[in-house]
Each structure stands twice: as C-alpha cells, then as structure tokens.
Amino acid sequence: MRDHEAESGAGGNDTLVGSHPIDGTALLKSAALASVPSDRLPALLVRVQSGLSPRVDEYRRRYERVACDPDREAFLVESDHWEAIGDRLGLADRERDAAARAHETAVEQWGSKTNRRDEFETALEIRSAVVIGVPSRH
C-alpha cells in the first residue's frame, strides 16, 4: 500500500494490517501542518485505517466515491463525519483533526494527479474526505 507497506507476513492480506492509504507527498504535507507530532502521524493513520477498512462496503453504499486506485478509494462525506470517526476510535481532538487533514490532503493530491484538483478543492469546502485502503485486486 503506497509507501507504507506493513511487515505483515503473507501477501494478499485482506486486513491491510499495519498500513494506511495516504501516499508520501500527502503524508509529508500533512505532517508539516499536523496538530500531532509528525513521528506519530503514520501510526495514527494506521489506527484510522484499521477502523475504516472493515466499513469500506458501507462507504461504497452511502457516500460518493470520487476516486479509486487498485489499493485505495476516496469518498466525500459530511463535513462533521470525522467527529463520528474520532468518537468511534477514541481519538483525541488533535488526532482526529490531523487524520482528517491527512485524508483531505490525500484527496487534493489525487486531484492534482488526475487534473481534478479544482473539483476536489471545491467539494472539500463543504464536505470532508475519507480515503480507505483496500486489498489489491489481482
């Protein structure tokens, strides 16, 4: 999964244990702006991924999927959605804000790579983003 593969043993692990879907550029930008120490951000994102990955089918049914790669999918969600994620995962306010910022930055970066940055930035003015790592489809 992007630059953060887990050392989880056997390949094809459906749980994606120890990894997160935020690519290197978005991670670096988020770390610079994060409200948590940058050395804690990757572990936080792994924790968030662990909470989100079992719900990917729910996200596919309920939310607009705006981007998809073989190993991750991005969704637009309500602007207060990260509050519910934070409550469910027991995140402190700063952790929740840092995770939300990382996910939004990842979607903006994704938009830059696909010539959709303006579209995504406009959408993020009224909504938030969730990026969920998914098992690679072979």
3-state SS assignment for residue 105: helix
72 within a domain of the structure (yes/no): yes
Is the residue at 118 inside a domain?
Answer: yes
Per-residue pLDDT of 68-123, as tens digits, reads: 999 999 999 999 999 999 999 999 999 999 999 999 999 999 999 999 999 999 99
Cα separation, 16 vs 134, whole angstroms: 7
d(CA 72, CA 132): 5
pTM: 0.82
Contacts of 116 by beta carbon, 8 Å cutoff, 6+ apart: 66, 67, 110
Residue 13 lies in a domain: no
**Residues of the domain holding 73:** 24-133
Q: What is the pLDDT of residues 10-60, one digit of tens each?
A: 233 333 446 888 887 787 787 777 677 888 889 999 999 999 999 999 999
* Residue at 19 is within a domain: no
> Can you read off the two tokens belonging to residue 48?
């968030």
Whole-angstrom distance, CA of residue 104 vs CA of residue 66: 12
Q: Residue 7: inside a domain, yes or no?
A: no
- Report how many domains make up the chain: 1
